[in-house]
A and B are shown apart, each in its own frame.
Chain A
Amino acid sequence: MLKFISKFTTSFIALNVIASGSVAATNAELKIGISQEFETMNPLIMSMSASTYMARMVGRTLVTMDADGKWIPQLAKEIPSLEKGSAKIVGLGSKKKLSALWEIIDNAKWGDGKPVICQDFITAHTIAISDTVTVAEKEQWTQVEKIEIDPKNPKKCRFIYEKAKWDFYQLGQFSPVPTHIEKAIFEKYGKEKEGYEKNSNYVRSPLNSGLYNGPYVISEVKLGSHVSFSPNKYFYGIQPKIQKIIVKLIPNTGTLEANLRSGTIDMISVVGLDLDQAISFEKKARAEGLPFTFHFVPSVTYEHIDLNLDNPILKDVKVRKALVLSMNREDLVTALFDNKQQAAIHNISPKDTWFTKDPKYVTLYPYSKHSAGKLLDEAGWKMGKDGFRSKSDQRLSLLFQTTAGNKTRELVQVYLQNKWKQIGIEVIIKNEPARVFFGDTMTHRKFSGLAMFAWVSSPESNPRSTFSSTAIPTQKNGWSGQNFMGWKNSSVDQALDKLNLEFNPKKRFELVGNTLKYYTEEVPALPLFYRSDISVTPHNLKNYKMTGHQYFETNNVEDWTLN
């Protein structure tokens, strides 16, 4: 027994000496920490951010968006366009369709050496549009009516789009799946409800390298723990420099820092730290001279407050303008975020090519307590002795809701409550768990005053589902749509309808500008700030470029190097 204990202790200490302690990461291995759960990586079905982050290491699409927000070809040789003649509008009148010629790069291969061909896109399309498969955003698949393969070249095909829309080429999520592996599964189980996704090789044998066409393949996966990646020798691009990448789940964001310091992980990904934790850690790291680089990159995530325009108080645009004028967003981002997040002026982020602050389109509301008070006076809200305004014995009081337990949002609430109190508006905070807030209060428009949350969008995205009057959730439409404000503006509706069909970029920008004009003039929502994406990397990690949008930095993981 004593011999056993002695052997155990000696081996234990030896193992610790070898395995523990923080050592600088090298190209031999990079361990990335994430704090969000991930699912199986079937590109047609996955929806979690952490899965998307990893999926870009193993899978590539026809096109993608680079760090500057520009669409670039990835598996495609080039992006078809009307100008080049590789895309053309076919049909007449309202039945106008679009035909585009795509060609897959010659050396694009799956991890088992089989070429990526147009049939792989047809297989993906067939599976994704099936009624038995739970693809979330089906429109991106159904917009492609047909894919015709060139009989002479299996890598060349014509996509027929059901509508002639300018953004037809934005198929960033349109992933191929390997026909030689997945087609048989779909044929066997595709008729059962969720049959394909339960039996797909992405679930049953995720280590099959033939499922992946990116710079890496998956070499080990444990849901709820980690995923290991090793280079894909058949990758079409340059071979990755880092020989092994491990993405490790650390669900408690509070311990990410300790894990990084101890060397359990080498970097914290964009799906990791909260802003306040990152700011605090950055200060400590600087003071202690830790070998980490902190990245704060403005993203397309728009944090804002939706106003319920059915509320009699908020129906008055003067009250809405008074609210936005008295917010002092510049001070808010300085005081609470150390200027690591940018104050918002409308829903379109500076990362987006549609962003503008041209006064022709955008009404700006620089902080002015005086102007806000004047507007409230004009609206008939008179200041009382108790410091709050009232009209016809009704106090100017509004309910302010957001997700309970979100420290950043709760800080913002307190800040704004104080600012609005200064102009005589009483704000009562009533927060709810995210599940209740998003699952019931917002979707059924049960909030009576102000609701703070964020929209995660992508550059050049039509805000129809959040701005159009047809997208106001009602019982009649089954509570669908996300225009929670209840904003109705026929000019905006028309502009949004035209936007998708406008091929001229200048005219498109004009349409977006007109929408912004009404949005900033009528103030149906209060813009707060554009969130920043955050990551922490070792000093020696080179060629790492954060994007700030959903096409994560793992999109160019093959360029990363730790020398």
Chain B
Amino acid sequence: MINFIARRIIQTLIVISVLSVVVYYLMSLMPGDPVDMMVASNPKITAEDVIRLKSLYGLDQPIYKRYSRWMETTLKGDLGYSRTYRVPVEELMAPRLWNTFILSFLALFLSILVAIPLGVLSALKPNSRIDTFVSFLSFGGISIPSFWLAIVLIILFAVKLPILPAGGTQTIGLGEVGLWAELLDRAKYLVLPVLSLSIQQIGRFSRFTRSAMSEAMRHDFIRTARAKGLSSQSVIWQHGFRNALIPLITIITVSVSSLFSGALLTETVFAYQGVGKLVYDSIIGNDYNVAMISFLISVGSVLIMNLVADIAYGFADPRIAYK
């Protein structure tokens, strides 16, 4: 097991290194650098300014030199400096990453909490009214565009029924109010974004759960378990659900790894101070340092969640060996 994890971590590091070269190169191929963009919007910038700024930003250097320098400083623990916001990358990204983490994991937690029972219920009573109702909700959730849902939620709960804030991360200038009040305040700002993110996920997860559970409940061992006189709860959860877990682990771990970038629209609409929009803006604005660190986190989370999935498969099904 330890060997397996160590091997996978080494593989992960190699993949990240190789991909970082590719991504850095691809970013350099994008037309226009930050100075070009500055020139096109400001008639007061002179030719001398252009030369000076390109030299200062290192944009006059060949791509391999720029990459080597970036890699060297990153390995030393210096994540660089955002040229857009003019602050060190770690200071810019750390609080936003934390905010995105809270939002994404709450949304995921809520989705799993609601979707799995719904999916199981639906699978256990196929073609019943409950199944039709859950299927309707699931397809509705999957089909509704998240940005549209977000705006509807704002209009409903912030404008028409003003019980929740329209956007933000926490009340500005709340001051020293104590942990409890601060938590409540944060919670208030999280309700709508979490709902907006969850509704779509609930739809997807419940469909997957229904499908996996229906498949599992058709197996012979379920009939055997029932014949042995096991309680229905034991048959459903210990035998049926455990066997339905493999596809669910896959879809949930894939979802976790995509949450980093997936919250972009929700964060933008709710003015939530997360990392999604920062990543988008850094790529568009050629803010290399921010974009590259975002990329590392994104690739890292995909690879780590794959590893988590592989480990979880073994727990769900002991027949899967770590070799």
A20 x B164 contact (CB < 8 A): yes
- Tell me, yes or no, whether B320 is within 8 Å of chain A by CB: no
- Tell me, yes or no, whether B169 is within 8 Å of chain A by CB: yes
The residues in A between 196 and 233 inclusive whose CB is less than 8 angstroms from any CB of B are 197-198, 203, 219-220, 222-226, 228
A15 x B53 contact (CB < 8 A): no
B154 x A46 contact (CB < 8 A): no
The residues in A between 28 and 49 inclusive whose CB is less than 8 angstroms from any CB of B are 31, 37, 39-40, 42, 45-47
What residue in chain B is nearest A264 (Cβ atoms)?
B166
- Tell me, yes or no, whether A259 is within 8 Å of chain B by CB: yes
What residue in chain B is nearest A465 (Cβ atoms)?
B43
Produce 1/0 per residue, B267-287, CB < 8 A to A.
011110100011001001000
A438 x B37 contact (CB < 8 A): yes
- Tell me, yes or no, whether B168 is within 8 Å of chain A by CB: yes
Produce 1/0 per residue, B159-175, CB < 8 A to A.
10011111111011100
- Tell me, yes or no, whether B239 is within 8 Å of chain A by CB: no
The residues in A between 317 and 346 inclusive whose CB is less than 8 angstroms from any CB of B are none
A137 to B43, CA, bound (A): 10
Q: Which residues of A are found within 8 Å of B188, using beta-carbon distances?
A: 12, 15-16, 19
A439 x B37 contact (CB < 8 A): yes
Q: Which residues of B are found within 8 Å of A435, using beta-carbon distances?
A: 30-32, 37, 284
Q: Which residues of B are found within 8 Å of A244, using beta-carbon distances?
A: 173
Q: Which residues of B are found within 8 Å of A439, using beta-carbon distances?
A: 30-33, 36-37, 40
A466 to B43, CA, bound (A): 7
Contact of A259 with B166 at beta-carbon distance under 8 Å, contacts A138-B48, A197-B86 already known: yes
Q: Which residues of A are found within 8 Å of B52, using beta-carbon distances?
A: 131, 138
Q: Which residues of B are found within 8 Å of A132, using beta-carbon distances?
A: 56
Q: Which residues of A are found within 8 Å of B164, using beta-carbon distances?
A: 16, 20
Q: Which residues of A are found within 8 Å of B281, using beta-carbon distances?
A: 37
- Tell me, yes or no, whether A153 is within 8 Å of chain B by CB: no
B166 x A463 contact (CB < 8 A): no
B173 x A465 contact (CB < 8 A): no
A228 x B172 contact (CB < 8 A): yes
Q: Out of B30, B86, B165, name the residue touching A264 (CB < 8 Å).
A: B165
B269 x A252 contact (CB < 8 A): yes
B86 x A40 contact (CB < 8 A): yes
A228 to B175, CA, bound (A): 12
The residues in B between 83 and 125 inclusive whose CB is less than 8 angstroms from any CB of A are 83-88, 92, 95-96
- Tell me, yes or no, whether A263 is within 8 Å of chain B by CB: yes
B49 x A139 contact (CB < 8 A): yes
A8 to B187, CA, bound (A): 10
Looking at the assembled complex, report how far the CB atom of B172 sits from the nearest CB atom of chain A, in whole angstroms: 5
The residues in B between 38 and 96 inclusive whose CB is less than 8 angstroms from any CB of A are 38-53, 56-57, 81, 83-88, 92, 95-96
Produce 1/0 per residue, A494-513, CB < 8 A to B.
00000000000000000000
A16 x B159 contact (CB < 8 A): no
Q: Out of B45, B184, B271, name the residue touching A248 (CB < 8 Å).
A: B271
A461 to B169, CA, bound (A): 42
Q: Which residues of B are found within 8 Å of A11, using beta-carbon distances?
A: 180-181, 184
Task: Select the stretch in A476-484, A517-525, A539-547 that faces chain B.
Answer: A476-484
What residue in chain A is nearest B44 (Cβ atoms)?
A137
Q: Which residues of B are found within 8 Å of A251, using beta-carbon distances?
A: 268, 271, 277
Contact of A203 with B48 at beta-carbon distance under 8 Å, contacts A224-B96, A435-B37, A443-B39 already known: no
A20 to B154, CA, bound (A): 13
* Central interface residue in A45, A223, A438, by most chain B CB within 10 Å: A223
A45 x B86 contact (CB < 8 A): yes
Q: Which residues of A are found within 8 Å of B81, using beta-carbon distances?
A: 194, 198
B278 x A259 contact (CB < 8 A): no
A21 x B162 contact (CB < 8 A): yes
Looking at the assembled complex, report how far the CB atom of B253 sits from the nearest CB atom of chain A, in whole angstroms: 29
B42 x A20 contact (CB < 8 A): no
The residues in B between 131 and 163 inclusive whose CB is less than 8 angstroms from any CB of A are 151, 154-155, 158-159, 162-163
Looking at the assembled complex, report how far the CB atom of A60 sits from the nearest CB atom of chain B, in whole angstroms: 21
B31 x A264 contact (CB < 8 A): no
Contact of A259 with B45 at beta-carbon distance under 8 Å, contacts A11-B184, A22-B162, A443-B36 already known: no
What residue in chain A is nearest B55 (Cβ atoms)?
A131
Looking at the assembled complex, report how far the CB atom of A188 sits from the nearest CB atom of chain B, in whole angstroms: 16
Contact of A248 with B165 at beta-carbon distance under 8 Å, contacts A47-B38, A194-B56, A443-B36 already known: no
B49 x A137 contact (CB < 8 A): yes
A203 to B37, CA, bound (A): 24
Produce 1/0 per residue, B179-206, CB < 8 A to A.
0110011011000000000000000000
- Tell me, yes or no, whether A406 is within 8 Å of chain B by CB: no
Q: Which residues of B are found within 8 Å of A250, using beta-carbon distances?
A: 167, 271
Q: Which residues of B are found within 8 Å of A443, using beta-carbon distances?
A: 32, 36, 39-40
What residue in chain A is nearest B56 (Cβ atoms)?
A134
B185 x A258 contact (CB < 8 A): no
What residue in chain A is nearest B31 (Cβ atoms)?
A440
Q: Which residues of B are found within 8 Å of A197, using beta-carbon distances?
A: 86
Q: Which residues of A are found within 8 Å of B57, using beta-carbon distances?
A: 134
What residue in chain A is nearest B47 (Cβ atoms)?
A480
- Tell me, yes or no, whether A436 is within 8 Å of chain B by CB: yes
Looking at the assembled complex, report how far the CB atom of B265 sits from the nearest CB atom of chain A, in whole angstroms: 9
What residue in chain B is nearest A455 (Cβ atoms)?
B43
* Central interface residue in B51, B188, B271, by most chain A CB within 10 Å: B271
A254 x B151 contact (CB < 8 A): yes
Q: Which residues of B are found within 8 Å of A198, using beta-carbon distances?
A: 81, 88
Looking at the assembled complex, report how far the CB atom of A350 sits from the nearest CB atom of chain B, in whole angstroms: 19
Q: Which residues of B are found within 8 Å of A455, using beta-carbon distances?
A: 43
- Tell me, yes or no, whether A414 is within 8 Å of chain B by CB: no
- Tell me, yes or no, whether A246 is within 8 Å of chain B by CB: yes
Q: Which residues of B are found within 8 Å of A428, using beta-carbon distances?
A: none
B278 x A224 contact (CB < 8 A): yes
A262 x B36 contact (CB < 8 A): no
B269 x A255 contact (CB < 8 A): yes
Looking at the assembled complex, report how far the CB atom of B275 sits from the nearest CB atom of chain A, in whole angstroms: 9
- Tell me, yes or no, whether A391 is within 8 Å of chain B by CB: no
B39 x A436 contact (CB < 8 A): no
- Tell me, yes or no, whether A261 is within 8 Å of chain B by CB: yes
A203 x B45 contact (CB < 8 A): no
Q: Which residues of A are found within 8 Å of B56, using beta-carbon distances?
A: 131-132, 134, 193-194
Q: Out of A136, A219, A248, A457, name the residue touching B43 (CB < 8 Å).
A: A457
A436 x B31 contact (CB < 8 A): yes
Looking at the assembled complex, report how far the CB atom of B111 sits from the nearest CB atom of chain A, in whole angstroms: 20
A42 to B87, CA, bound (A): 11
A443 to B162, CA, bound (A): 48
Contact of A438 with B271 at beta-carbon distance under 8 Å, contacts A16-B163, A136-B49 already known: no
A-B contact pairs, 25 of them (CB 8 A): A11-B181, A12-B188, A15-B181, A20-B165, A136-B42, A136-B53, A137-B44, A203-B86, A203-B87, A203-B88, A220-B172, A222-B273, A223-B92, A224-B96, A225-B273, A226-B172, A250-B167, A251-B271, A255-B269, A255-B270, A261-B159, A439-B40, A455-B43, A456-B43, A461-B43
User: Given A37-B281, A137-B42, A453-B40, 8 other A-B contacts at CB below 8 A?
Assistant: A20-B162, A40-B86, A131-B52, A138-B49, A203-B88, A255-B271, A261-B159, A264-B165
- Top 9 nearest A-B pairs (CB, nearest first) are A439-B32, A480-B47, A440-B31, A438-B40, A262-B158, A21-B162, A225-B273, A250-B271, A262-B166
Which residues of B does A touch, CB under 8 Å? 30-33, 36-53, 56-57, 81, 83-88, 92, 95-96, 151, 154-155, 158-159, 162-169, 171-173, 180-181, 184-185, 187-188, 268-271, 273, 277-278, 281, 284
